[in-house]
A and B are shown apart, each in its own frame.
Chain A
Amino acid sequence: MAGIMKVKAKAKKGATNVKMMAKHIMESGQRKDKKTGELIPAMFLQEITVQHAGKTVFAGNLGTAISKNPYIAFSFEGGAKGEELTINWVENTGKTGTETAAIK
């Protein structure tokens, strides 16, 4: 499966700036299906963890009020061009994914 994460990580002056976006609907569970009038069940990313060289550099617990296609930006000390970031995500349905991205 192609990944859902789009990651731009740039090493600069000893720190790495990370901008990431997940392609995900982030269904809040509060919208109604226009045809049936029934609530569309919630389906959203619950957890995102980013690791660099075996160390967690970012972790987020997300709720349904995070916009569709969640965007998160942060930066951490260390990291160099060519090194790899590992991103783990967990959906509220229990679905999980692990993806990698290179630092540029």
Chain B
Amino acid sequence: MMNRRTVIKAVATGGALIGAGVLMPRLAMAAWNTDAFKADNQGAAMKALLGAEPSASSDVSLKAPSIAENGAVVPVTVKTSATNVESISLFVEGNPTPLVAEFMIPAGTAPQISTRIRMGKTSVITAVVKADGKLMSASQETKVTIGGCGG
């Protein structure tokens, strides 16, 4: 007969197994973090995604235009001189949901990413690099003359 304790134990191991099964094929890749992507303020989004807020570092370089005529397409390049980079994420403080994207950098892939992002209004763009368990960031303000979110 199963008593309460064995039931709890069975449920716990079963749950762990299912969890492992789901995560297996994607190993290094963290699942799409709904809380972080839905967060409407930057601090909360950073905490949800990365666990803490980063500190500014000269090891991170963020290239973005100082004036973007069209907020719907703002080219951004992030690179870093840090080693053992795990991920690079992008935030736009003034957007309705500040987290733009999170890019995983597996070993062997250069810690440099270029993409194009949307900005609703003039705002600060922040790139966060996670390397060796540390969070480093670089920020830049980009002026937007036509927003890219509403319409």
Q: Is the CB of A59 within 8 A of B104?
A: yes
Q: Is the CB of B27 within 8 A of A56?
A: yes
Q: Report the minimum CB–CB distance from B82 to chain A (whole Å).
A: 16
A30 CB-CB contact with B under 8 Å: yes
Instruction: Take A59-B28, A75-B112 as given contacts and tell me if A65 and B106 are in contact as well, using a CB distance cutoff of 8 Å.
Output: no
Which of B73, B109, B149 lies at the interface centre, i.e. has the most chain A CB atoms within 10 A of its CB?
B109
Return the CB mask of A38-78 against B: 1 if under 8 Å, else 0.
00000000110100000111111111111110111111111
Number of interface residues of B (CB under 8 A): 39
A28 CB-CB contact with B under 8 Å: yes
Q: Is the CB of B150 within 8 A of A49?
A: no
**Alpha-carbon separation in the docked complex, A77 to B106 (Å):** 11
Q: Is the CB of B109 within 8 A of A75?
A: yes
Q: Is the CB of A75 within 8 A of B149?
A: no
Give the segment of B12-20, B55-63, B93-101, B131-139 that binds chain A.
Answer: B93-101
Q: Is the CB of B102 within 8 A of A60?
A: yes
Instruction: Take A60-B103, A76-B110 as given contacts and tell me if A65 and B92 are in contact as well, using a CB distance cutoff of 8 Å.
Output: yes
A31 CB-CB contact with B under 8 Å: yes
> Which residues from chain A contact B113 at a C-beta distance below 8 Å?
72-74
B108 CB-CB contact with A under 8 Å: yes
Across the interface, B117 reaches (CB within 8 A) one of A46, A55, A65, namely A65
Across the interface, B115 reaches (CB within 8 A) one of A15, A31, A70, namely A70
Across the interface, A72 reaches (CB within 8 A) one of B73, B115, B149, namely B115
B30 CB-CB contact with A under 8 Å: yes
> Which residues from chain B contact A66 at a C-beta distance below 8 Å?
100-101, 115-118
Q: Report the minimum CB–CB distance from A85 to chain B (whole Å).
A: 12
> Which residues from chain B contact A59 at a C-beta distance below 8 Å?
26, 28-29, 103-104, 106
Return the CB mask of B7-40 against A: 1 if under 8 Å, else 0.
0000000000000000000111111110001000
Given contact pairs A57-B106, A59-B28, A70-B115, a sample of 7 additional A-B residue pairs in the complex whose CB atoms are under 8 Å apart: A49-B26, A58-B103, A62-B100, A66-B117, A73-B115, A74-B113, A77-B108
Considering the complex of A and B, which 10 residue pairs feature the smallest CB-CB distances, nearest first?
A73-B114, A59-B104, A67-B116, A76-B109, A65-B100, A61-B102, A77-B108, A59-B29, A65-B118, A60-B103
What are 13 sample pairs from A and B whose C-beta atoms fall under 8 A apart? Answer: A31-B149, A55-B106, A56-B29, A56-B104, A60-B102, A61-B32, A66-B100, A67-B72, A67-B73, A72-B114, A75-B110, A76-B109, A78-B108
